[in-house]
C-alpha cells in the first residue's frame, strides 16, 4: 500500500513537473508575443529601410546603405556574439530614365503604365514601334510560328487566376510569361514584349520583377504594363490592328560586390546545430521594398531583439541572415550556402520570411525525403503552443534564399503571413512602409520567434 | 471465398460511394469559392452602401435608403422566395454641427480631434469649460469621490491593450469607459467626459460608438478624442493643471420607425429548420460603415447570390437578415427574435458577420448548455471541408443581433475574419469602401456560404 502511495506521489510529481515544464514554454511564447507587440522596433526599422533608404536593388548604393544600417542595428543588440558582412557577387541592372509605352490604334493613341522588367535591355532614345500580337501562354508562340511573330511586339496577357485561394500559387502559374517571355518570343523574331502585371487586382500599377534571357538568344526589351492597361490593350486588339511604341533605357552593367549581413548568438549546449532566420535585404528599385522583403528582414532582426531583450541563452546557435540579391539572381543565398557547406556546418532549421508583413497564418516546411518524415512527426509537439495563435504548421515551400541549404538535411521553413493582399503591392511603387500594418508586422516577428524558441528547446 | 470476395466488393462499392459523396461536398464548397471570387458582386454592393449612401445611423434617411437598396438587390435574385421589410422601433440620435474640443494649459491651447459618442447630449453654443481630471477606470471614480470630481471634466484614458492577440477581447476590456463613463462620472458631479478612442493605433482619428445614460442620473456630454490627442492631454496633465473647453450639438430625438430586411429561400424537406445569415445595415454616421457592417450585409447577400446562381434548392429554410440598429440599441435584432418566437420558429443555426471584411479566419459558436455539446460534436464533420481554406470552428461568441435567438436552442455562429486591423477603422471616418479589400471580402462570403451549405446538407 505504501509502495502504491509512493508510486502515486511519484507520478503526481512527474506529471506536475511535466505540466509545469509545458506551461513554462507556453508562458515563454506569450512573453515573446507581448514583448514584440509592446516594445518591438521592427516597424521603425522598416520605416528607415523602406522610406529613408528606399528601393534597394542589388548592386545599388541603396542596397549597400541597407547593409550598413542593418549591420549597425544587429551589432547594437546585447547578447549577439558576432555580426559580419559576407561578400557576394551580384548583377547590376539599372532601369535608367522612365519608360514610355503607348499603343496606337483606330486613329488614336494611349500611353500605358509601364515598367521595364529586371535584366531587360533598353531600346534607347529611338524606341521600337511594331504591330502587337497577343498571346496567353509561352506555348502559343510555337503554334503561331515565326511567320506570325517576326517583327512584332508580343503581348503576354494570361491573367493570374482570381480563384486560387493561395495567391502565391496563382503567381506561380502565371509568372513564366514574365520570366521567359522575352527569350521565347525572340526565338521567333519578336522585337519586344509587353507583359500583363502579376496581380489579381485591377488597377493602374505596373509590377516589375525578374526576367531572364536564355543564352544564345537575341535579347529584346521586356516591359510590364498594368492590368487595367492590359485589359485596354486586349480590348483595342479585339477591334483594331494595334501598334505599340516602346522606349526604355534599362541596361545591365558588369557584376559588382555586395553583402549578406549575418548575426549570430552561439548555442550553449548544441552550438553545432544552427537555427537560421532570414529575409532578403535587396528589393526592386521602385517603391520601398516594404513587404518584399523589408518585412522579412525586420522580422528576423526582431527575433534577435526579442531574445536579446530577455537575455536568452539558446542551446543551439541562432543566426539572423539578411540575404542580398534574392530578386535578381540569388547571389547572396547561394554564397551563404556555399560558405556554410565549405565549413561543414549543419542548419537544423532555416526559417525564411519572404511573403510580406501581413497577419501570420502559419509555417510551411520541407526537407529531403530521407529526413522529412521524422521532422514532421516531431513538429506535432509544437502544435499545442502555436494553436492558441491560430498558426498552422504544414508541408510546403521553405523559400528561395534558404533553398540551397537543403542538402544539409535540415528543415526548411517558410513563414506564411496572409497572402490575399500581397500581390496588390508586390514589385510596385506601392510597396512602401505605410502599407505595412504595425500590429501585423509585430505579430509576424512574434510567431517566428516562438517557432525558433520551440526548435531550440525541443530540437527536431 | 466467394462470399469474402463479394463482401470485399460490397465494401469497395460502399466506400467509393462514400468517397464520391464526400468529394461532391468538397467540390461544391470549391464551386462557391470560385463563383464568389470570379463573379461575386458584394464589393460593388458595398461601394453603393458605403460610398453612395454613406453612414447609415438608425433613424436616418440614409438607413432607410439602405433598406430600400438591399431589398431591391435581394428581390432581384432568382430563386429567392420572399423578401420583406420588418418594421422596428429605433432611437434617433443626431450629432449636429461639428464638435469642438480644446485643452488649455501652461498659457497655450490645443484643439483635439473629437467626436460626440452615440446618445450623448450636447452642450449647445455656450459649451462647457472646466478643469480636467484623468482616470484609468470606472472604479477610480469612487476612490476619488465627489470632492475631486465635482465640476470637472473627467478624462477616461485607459488604453486598449496592445498585447491581446484578439483585438475584440482588448476592446471588451476597455470599452466600459466609453459606454458607462458619462453616467458614472455624473454621479460624482462631473460636467462632461472625454474618452480615449477605442483602438490600439496611435493616430488622429477619433472613434465614436454607443454610450448609455443610466436612468435617474443627470446626463452630461460624452466625447471621444483620438489616441494621439489622449496622449497629448495625458502629457499636458503631467506638467500643468489643464482645463478643457467642449462644445457639441448632439441630441436625442423621439424614437422613430425603421426596418430589418429579410429574404428567404424555403427549404424543400426540412423547411421548419431555419439557417440564418445576417449583418447589420445601420452604422455610425461618420465614415461609410464599410467594415462595420456593410461588409456583413454584403457577405450575407452574396451567400444568397451564390445559391441563386447555381439554382440551389436547400433542404432547410435559408434566411438572409439585414438587421437595423445594432449600433444603438439592437432594436432590429430584438424585434426579429420577438416575431420569430411569436411564430414558434426554430433557427437551427444563425451566422452573424459583424467583424469586418477582412481575410476569413474561421467561425466561433455558442448555444445553450443543453444542446451545445451535441452541436460541437457534429461540427467536427465539417472540418475536412473547411481545413483546406484554413478556417477554424471553435467555441466563442455568436453576435449581438442573433443573441436574442439563443433561447430557440439552435447554434449561434460568429464569422471571424482577421481582426488585427478592425479597430484601425471601427466607428471612424476612415471606415469607408476603399479600405475593404475585394478579395478578402469575397473570400468572407465564400466561407459563410460554405458553412451554410454544410449545415443545410448535414444538419447539426
Write down the ipTM of this complex. 0.91
Tell whether B283 and B423 lie within a shared domain.
Answer: yes
Residues of chain B contacting A439 with CB distance shorter than 8 Å: 162, 167, 200, 420-421
Across the range A87-115, mean pLDDT stands at 97
**Alpha-carbon span A208 to A143, nearest angstrom:** 28
Evaluate if residue A456 carries a pLDDT over 50: yes
Mean pLDDT in order along chain B per 10 residues (460 residues): 44 47 89 96 98 98 98 97 98 97 97 98 97 97 97 98 96 98 98 98 97 97 98 98 98 97 98 98 98 98 96 97 96 98 98 98 97 95 93 96 98 98 98 98 98 97
* 3-class secondary structure, A248: coil
Among A214, A249, A284, which residue terminates a domain?
A: A249
Tell whether A221 and A284 lie within a shared domain.
Answer: no
**Alpha-carbon span B246 to B266, nearest angstrom:** 54
Helices B295-309 & B61-75 angle (0-180, nearest 10)? 10
Closest residue in A to B436 (Cα) is A421
Closest residue in A to B31 (Cα) is A163
Residue span of the structural domain in which B84 resides: 32-93+254-458
Q: List the CATH number of the domain containing B285.
A: 3.40.630.10
> Could you give the angle at the alpha carbon of A203 between the alpha carbons of B447 and A195, nearest 5°?
105
Cβ–Cβ of A390/B200 closer than 8 Å? no
Across the range A160-183, mean pLDDT stands at 97
The minimum CA-CA distance between A439 and chain B, rounded to whole Å, is 7
Tell whether B245 and B258 lie within a shared domain.
Answer: no
Residue B423 belongs to some domain of the structure: yes
Residue B20 belongs to some domain of the structure: no
Residues of chain A contacting B437 with CB distance shorter than 8 Å: 420-421, 424
Residue A223 belongs to some domain of the structure: yes
Across the range A288-295, mean pLDDT stands at 98
Cβ–Cβ of A163/B439 closer than 8 Å? no
Q: What is the pLDDT of residue A77?
A: 97
**Alpha-carbon span B54 to B185, nearest angstrom:** 34
Q: What single-letter DSSP state applies at residue A298?
A: H
Among A249, A283, A302, which residue terminates a domain?
A: A249
Residue A22 belongs to some domain of the structure: no
**Alpha-carbon span A257 to A251, nearest angstrom:** 18
Q: What is the pLDDT of residue A12?
A: 41
Question: Largest alpha-carbon pair distance within chain B?
Answer: 102
Across the range A27-47, mean pLDDT stands at 97
Tell whether A105 and A89 lie within a shared domain.
Answer: no
Tell whether B105 and B239 lie within a shared domain.
Answer: yes
| Adjacency order of strands within the sheet including A82-94 | A82-94, A251-265, A316-323, A270-280, A346-352, A411-417, A360-366, A392-395
Tell whether A359 and A268 lie within a shared domain.
Answer: yes
Tell whether A424 and A379 lie within a shared domain.
Answer: yes
Tell whether A134 and A275 lie within a shared domain.
Answer: no
**Who's near B105: CB < 8 A, 6+ residues apart?**
B236, B237, B239, B240, B241, B242, B243
Q: What is the pLDDT of residue A7?
A: 45
**Alpha-carbon span A143 to A138, nearest angstrom:** 10
Residue A15 belongs to some domain of the structure: no
pLDDT-derived band at A22 (thresholds 50, 70, 90) equals: confident
| Residue given cell 463479394 in the structure block | B6
Across the range A59-65, mean pLDDT stands at 98
Residues of chain A contacting B418 with CB distance shorter than 8 Å: 359, 418
Residue B4 belongs to some domain of the structure: no
Where is A366: in which H helix or E strand?
strand A360-366
Of A362, A392, A443, the CB nearest to B420: A443
Tell whether B410 and B434 lie within a shared domain.
Answer: yes
Summarize pLDDT for A353-394 with one digit per residue, the tens.
999 999 999 999 999 999 999 999 999 999 999 999 999 999
**Who's near B217: CB < 8 A, 6+ residues apart?**
B183, B186, B187
Evaluate if residue A228 carries a pLDDT over 90: yes
* Interface test with chain B among A26, A38, A41, A165, by most B beta carbons within 10 Å: A165
Q: What is the pLDDT of residue B12?
A: 41
How many structural domains does chain B have? 2
Evaluate if residue A224 carries a pLDDT over 60: yes
Q: What is the pLDDT of residue A14?
A: 44
CA neighbor of B291 nearest in space, from B199, B180, B372, B221: B199
Across the range A275-293, mean pLDDT stands at 98
Of B33, B390, B424, the CB nearest to A163: B33
Residue B303 belongs to some domain of the structure: yes
**Does residue B124 come out as left (phi exceeding 0), alpha (psi in the -120 to 50 range) or beta?**
left
Evaluate if residue A406 carries a pLDDT over 90: yes
CA neighbor of A185 nearest in space, from A209, A158, A160, A219: A219
Instruction: Tell whether the torsion through CA atoms of B26, B380, A413 and A358 is positive or negative.
Output: positive
Tell whether B357 and B378 lie within a shared domain.
Answer: yes
Residue B6 belongs to some domain of the structure: no
Tell whether B293 and B423 lie within a shared domain.
Answer: yes
Among A228, A249, A270, which residue terminates a domain?
A: A249
Q: What is the pLDDT of residue B19?
A: 55
Per-residue buried b or exposed e for B440-449, using 16+ beta carbons within 10 Å of the residue's own CB: bbbbbbbbbb
Q: List the CATH number of the domain containing A175.
A: 3.50.30.30
Q: Three cell numbers at B304? A: 444568397
Q: What single-letter DSSP state applies at residue A291?
A: I
Tell whether A207 and A340 lie within a shared domain.
Answer: no
Amino acid at each position: 500500500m505504501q509502495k502504491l502511495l509512493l508510486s502515486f506521489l511519484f507520478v503526481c510529481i512527474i506529471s506536475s513537473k511535466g505540466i509545469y515544464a509545458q506551461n513554462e514554454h507556453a508562458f515563454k511564447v506569450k512573453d515573446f508575443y507581448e514583448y514584440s507587440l509592446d516594445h518591438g522596433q521592427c516597424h521603425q526599422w522598416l520605416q528607415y529601410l523602406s522610406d529613408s533608404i528606399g528601393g534597394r536593388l542589388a548592386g545599388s548604393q541603396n542596397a549597400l546603405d541597407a547593409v550598413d544600417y542593418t549591420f549597425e542595428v544587429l551589432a547594437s543588440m546585447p547578447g549577439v556574439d558576432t555580426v559580419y558582412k559576407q561578400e557576394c557577387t551580384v548583377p547590376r541592372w539599372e532601369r535608367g530614365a522612365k519608360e514610355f509605352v503607348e499603343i496606337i490604334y483606330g486613329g488614336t493613341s494611349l500611353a500605358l503604365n509601364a515598367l521595364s522588367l529586371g535584366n531587360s535591355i533598353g531600346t534607347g532614345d529611338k524606341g521600337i514601334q511594331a504591330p502587337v500580337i497577343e498571346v496567353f501562354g509561352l506555348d502559343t508562340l510555337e503554334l503561331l510560328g515565326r511567320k506570325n511573330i517576326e517583327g512584332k511586339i508580343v503581348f503576354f496577357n494570361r491573367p493570374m487566376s482570381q480563384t486560387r485561394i493561395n495567391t502565391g500559387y496563382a503567381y506561380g502559374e502565371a509568372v513564366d510569361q514574365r520570366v521567359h517571355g522575352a527569350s521565347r518570343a525572340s526565338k521567333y523574331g519578336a522585337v519586344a514584349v509587353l507583359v500583363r502585371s502579376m496581380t489579381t487586382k485591377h488597377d493602374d500599377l505596373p509590377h516589375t520583377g525578374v526576367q531572364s534571357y536564355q543564352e544564345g538568344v537575341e535579347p529584346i526589351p521586356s516591359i510590364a504594363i498594368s492590368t487595367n492597361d492590359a485589359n485596354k490593350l486586349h480590348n483595342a486588339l479585339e477591334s483594331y490592328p494595334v501598334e505599340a511604341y516602346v522606349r526604355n533605357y534599362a541596361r545591365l552593367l558588369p557584376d559588382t560586390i555586395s553583402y549578406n549581413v549575418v548575426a549570430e548568438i552561439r548555442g550553449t549546449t548544441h552550438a553545432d546545430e544552427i537555427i537560421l532566420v532570414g529575409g532578403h535585404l535587396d528589393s526592386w528599385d521602385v517603391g520601398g521594398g516594404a513587404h518584399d522583403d523589408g518585412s522579412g528582414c525586420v522580422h528576423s532582426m526582431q527575433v534577435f531583439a526579442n531574445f536579446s531583450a530577455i537575455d536568452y541563452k539558446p542551446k543551439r546557435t541562432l543566426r539572423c541572415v539578411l540575404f542580398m540579391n534574392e530578386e535578381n539572381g540569388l547571389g547572396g543565398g547561394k554564397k551563404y550556402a556555399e560558405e556554410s557547406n565549405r565549413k561543414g556546418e549543419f542548419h537544423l532549421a532555416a526559417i525564411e520570411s519572404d511573403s510580406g508583413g501581413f497577419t501570420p497564418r502559419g509555417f510551411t516546411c520541407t526537407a529531403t525525403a530521407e529526413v522529412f518524415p521524422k521532422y514532421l512527426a516531431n513538429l506535432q509537439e509544437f502544435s499545442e503552443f502555436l494553436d492558441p495563435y491560430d498558426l498552422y504548421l504544414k508541408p510546403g515551400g521553405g523559400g528561395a534564399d534558404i533553398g540551397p541549404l537543403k542538402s544539409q538535411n535540415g528543415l526548411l521553413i517558410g513563414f506564411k503571413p496572409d497572402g490575399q493582399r500581397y500581390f496588390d503591392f508586390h514589385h510596385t511603387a506601392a510597396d512602401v512602409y505605410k502599407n505595412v500594418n504595425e500590429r501585423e508586422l509585430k505579430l509576424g516577428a512574434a510567431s517566428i520567434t516562438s517557432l525558433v524558441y520551440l526548435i531550440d528547446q525541443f530540437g527536431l
